[in-house]
């Protein structure tokens, strides 16, 4: 197989906890995105027979058309990636992952006799165990039994993909998505024994947003996870310093009030006098240990807990700056200044903006991290938010696939190279 063919058929897949991003090199700068979930159809349903639905699992953009009652969702709607990790014996989760992978590849596979499969670069959490690599390789091979969709595949850690996308060989990548946050020092390769994992991401902010909606009189809407996420994304603010932001908001209610309209419905959401709570949403992502959140915990909101998944501990309440410091201090003294001088923040959980009129009160993610690290006596910090942080992992997959020679074979000892199927 020629190098030219490989470069024109690179295909990136980012297995995010909430969003599944995919697409070939030819798609451009922005991948396709669907939610990382699958819906299991009731096999005995008469309507599924009448409507000609023969599939066991629905994934992708048409999934919402098949959703039934809220009670059914708990049983049949499966989000396979928990903390970025698939349990080895979770059959339903692996079935969903296989169907999503098939869905992605078939969406772009051309009807061309010269097409003999994509060169797929898949990306997983840096804490993903080896069995996930093995089972994903098996899935790609199984998909080829029906049609040659995959010529070769490789798998890389998400933080490494971010570093590749930014062409930065020495850095700290903080990759924060829906389910978890990975703090990964990199010196050409991920320094795996220095990785710090946090058991929170955008999903934790969703939980807090749900509580805020309840307090504002929208308890019936707080149960709709997708709606809560939309509200969070539209009203959430990241404060430079929380106490100052709350004081400002209470004195300048007109500056922070915002009505949220849900497209296609008559629904309008306005927090009114509680609009100051907009700043809590962003703060919770960065520092859930702030005393203001104790009242929510006392009322029953679950606090992010420390959990062990496989061989990895995920810390719940460690603030973002402390996680960075812990990760860097596990590395050699000589490299530590270089790591602090290039902190890359990636993932949708860092996609915070400053509305007009709230300059000096609200912050972007890089500004917040710099402030938090300086408060912990770390100087000479340079932090940047990845360009289009939601897509940076996928873009790194494309760059990596384009650069790795087609004849560079997979090596388990280094976890790199192409595993060929032809």
Whole-angstrom distance, CA of residue 16 vs CA of residue 31? 13
The side-by-side arrangement of strands in the sheet containing 38-40 is 57-58, 38-40, 77-78
The pLDDT tens digits along the chain (422 residues) read 688 899 999 999 999 888 899 999 999 889 999 988 888 876 655 444 444 455 678 888 777 766 664 445 556 788 888 777 888 888 999 999 999 999 999 999 998 888 999 999 999 988 888 999 999 999 999 999 888 999 999 999 999 999 999 999 999 999 998 778 999 999 988 998 999 999 888 889 999 999 998 888 878 777 777 788 888 988 999 999 999 999 999 999 989 988 888 777 777 888 888 899 999 999 999 999 999 999 999 999 999 888 887 777 889 999 999 999 999 999 999 999 999 999 999 988 898 999 998 999 999 999 999 999 999 999 889 999 998 888 899 999 999 999 999 989 999 998 999 999 87
| pLDDT computed for residue 75 by the predictor | 64
DSSP 178: S
Backbone angles phi, psi at 240, to 5 degrees: -65, -55
| 178, 17 contact by CB (below 8 A) | yes
Helix/strand/coil percent split, the chain, to 5? 40, 20, 35
| pLDDT computed for residue 73 by the predictor | 56
To which H or E segment does residue 260 belong?
A: strand 259-261
Q: What's the angle, vertex CA 55, arms to CA 49 and CA 56, rounded to 5?
A: 105
Whole-angstrom distance, CA of residue 385 vs CA of residue 2? 37
| pLDDT computed for residue 50 by the predictor | 43
How many other C-beta atoms can be found within 10 angstroms of the C-beta atom of residue 111?
Answer: 5
Whole-angstrom distance, CA of residue 332 vs CA of residue 337? 10
Domains defined along the chain, listed by start: 3-37+79-157+393-420 (3.30.420.40), 197-310+314-385 (3.30.420.570)
| 184, 124 contact by CB (below 8 A) | no
The pTM is what?
A: 0.86
Whole-angstrom distance, CA of residue 325 vs CA of residue 218? 39
What distance lies between CA 216 and its chain's CA centroid?
28
| pLDDT computed for residue 225 by the predictor | 78
| pLDDT computed for residue 323 by the predictor | 96
Torsion of CA 175, 181, 184, 189, to 10 degrees: -60
Residue ranges of E strands in 65-141: 77-78, 118-124
HEC per residue, 269-318: EECHHHHHHHHHHHHHHHCCCCHHHHHHHHCCCCCCCCEEECCEEEECCC
Q: Which residues of 330-352 are buried (b: 16+ CB within 10 A; e: fewer)?
A: ebeeeebeebbebbbbbbbbbbb
3-state secondary structure of 231: helix
């Amino acid at each position: 197989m020629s190098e030219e063919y490989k470069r024109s058929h690179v295909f990136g897949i980012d297995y995010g906890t909430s969003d599944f991003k995919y697409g070939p090199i030819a798609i451009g700068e922005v991948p396709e995105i669907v939610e990382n979930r699958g819906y299991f159809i009731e096999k005995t349903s008469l309507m599924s027979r009448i409507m000609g639905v023969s599939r066991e699992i629905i994934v992708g953009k048409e999934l919402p058309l098949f959703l039934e009652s809220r009670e059914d969702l708990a049983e049949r709607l499966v989000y396979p990636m928990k903390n970025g990790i698939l349990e080895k014996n979770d059959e339903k989760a692996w079935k969903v992952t296989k169907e999503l992978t098939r869905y992605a590849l078939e969406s772009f596979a051309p009807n061309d006799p010269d097409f003999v499969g994509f060169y797929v670069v898949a990306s997983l959490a840096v804490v993903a165990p080896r069995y996930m690599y093995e089972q994903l390789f098996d899935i790609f091979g199984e998909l080829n039994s029906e049609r040659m969709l995959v010529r070769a595949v490789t798998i890389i850690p998400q933080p490494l993909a971010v570093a590749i996308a930014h062409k930065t060989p020495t850095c700290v990548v903080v990759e924060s998505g829906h389910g978890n946050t990975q703090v990964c020092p990199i010196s050409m390769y991920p320094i795996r024994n220095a990785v710090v994992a946090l058991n929170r991401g955008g999903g934790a902010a969703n939980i807090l947003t749900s509580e805020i909606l309840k307090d504002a009189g929208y308890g019936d809407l707080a149960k709709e996870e997708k709606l809560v996420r939309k509200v969070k994304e539209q009203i959430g603010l990241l404060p430079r310093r929380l106490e100052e932001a709350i004081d400002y908001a209470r004195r300048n209610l007109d500056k922070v009030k915002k009505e949220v309209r849900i497209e296609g419905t008559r629904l309008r959401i306005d927090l009114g006098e509680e609009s100051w709570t907009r700043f809590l949403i962003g703060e919770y992502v960065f520092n859930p240990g702030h005393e203001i959140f104790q009242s929510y915990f006392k009322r029953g909101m679950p606090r992010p807990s420390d959990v062990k998944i496989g061989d990895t501990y995920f810390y719940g309440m460690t603030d973002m700056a402390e996680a960075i410091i812990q990760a860097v201090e596990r590395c050699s003294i000589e490299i530590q200044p270089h790591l602090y001088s290039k902190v890359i923040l990636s993932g949708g959980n860092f996609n915070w903006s400053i509305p007009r009129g709230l300059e000096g009160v609200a912050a972007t993610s890089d500004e917040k991290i710099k402030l938090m690290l300086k408060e912990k006596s770390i100087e000479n910090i340079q932090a940047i938010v990845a360009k289009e942080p939601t897509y940076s992992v996928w873009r790194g997959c494309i760059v990596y696939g384009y650069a790795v020679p087609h004849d560079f074979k997979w090596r388990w000892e280094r976890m790199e190279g192409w595993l060929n199927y032809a």
